Amino acid sequence: SQTIHQWPATLVQPVGSPLSLECTVEGTSNPNLYWYRQAAGRGLQLLFYSVGIGQISSEVPQNLSASRPQDRQFILSSKKLLLSDSGFYLCAWSPGRDYGYTFGSGTRLTVV
Amino acid sequence: GQQLNQSPQSMFIQEGEDVSMNCTSSSIFNTWLWYKQEPGEGPVLLIALYKAGELTSNGRLTAQFGITRKDSFLNISASIPSDVGIYFCAGQLQGGSEKLVFGKGTKLTVNP
C-alpha cells in the first residue's frame, strides 16, 4: 500500500533562517506531488505542485521554493524565513488527474 | 481562478443532530471529493464521487454528485463528538489541470 511521510511534525525557526521540509511517498511511482499551506483554522493554499522529477509549478509568488530531486521526494525550502511563513504545511500525493489526494500529517512551522 | 463556494462556513450543533453542508460552483467538475481534517492533522478523504447523480454512503456520511456536475452535498446523520473538525469539498475541473480545487471548509462543532 502507498504511504506518505512528512517531517518534521513541528518546527520553530528564527526569522532569517533557512527552511527545508521533506516529503516522501512509498509504494507508488511517478506520483503527482503537492505542497499546501494552511493558516490557523483556515482553508488550504496550494503552493507548489509537481507532475514529474524536476517539474515544479508555483502557484503563489513567495519566499519559498520547491524541488523534486527524486521521483517520490518533494522538498519545500526557503533561504530566509519571514514571520509570515508561519503556518501548517501539508504535503499530498495523487496517482494523477481525477483522483483524490492523500495528505501527509503536516508540519507546524512557527517563525519567531 | 475557479472557485468552490462551500457553506456554511461553520456549524454548532448538538450531539445526535443531522448535519448538511454543500459546495457549489459555476464550473463543471469531473470528480467531487469530501475530506475531514481534525486539529493538527492532514485532511483525510471521506468520500469520492465520480459520476453525475452518484449518491455514496460511508457509515453515517452520505454525499451526492449533483446532476449538473456543478455542486455536491455532504450529510452526516446522528452526529457524535468525534465528528468535530473541518470538512472540505474538492473537485477536479472538467478540462482542468492536475490540480484539485478546494472549498474553504466548514468547521463543525458538536456539543455533547
**What is the per-residue DSSP string for B10-58?**
EEEEETT--EEEEEE-SS-EEEEEEEEE-TTS--EEEEEE-STT-EEEE
Mutation target among B23, B98, B102 for the A interface, most CBs of A within 10 A = B98
> Which of A43, A98, A104 comes nearest B105 by C-beta?
A43
CB count in 10 Å sphere of residue B26: 9
**Could you give the CA distance from residue B22 to residue B27 in angstroms, rounded to a whole number?**
15
Q: Which residues of A touch B100 (CB under 8 A)?
A: 94, 100-101
Instruction: Kindly give the confidence (pLDDT) of every residue in chain B, 112 residues in length, as a single tens digit, with 9 standing for 90 and above.
Output: 457 899 999 999 999 999 999 999 999 999 999 999 998 899 999 999 999 999 999 999 999 999 999 999 999 999 999 999 999 999 988 877 778 889 999 999 999 9
pLDDT tens-digit profile of A23-53?
999 999 999 999 999 987 778 999 999 999 9
Q: Is there a contact between A43 and B103 if contact means CB atoms under 8 Å apart? A: yes
Q: Which residues neighbour B97 within 8 Å (Cβ) at sequence distance 6 or greater?
A: none
Shortest distance, CA A110 to any CA of chain B (angstroms): 14
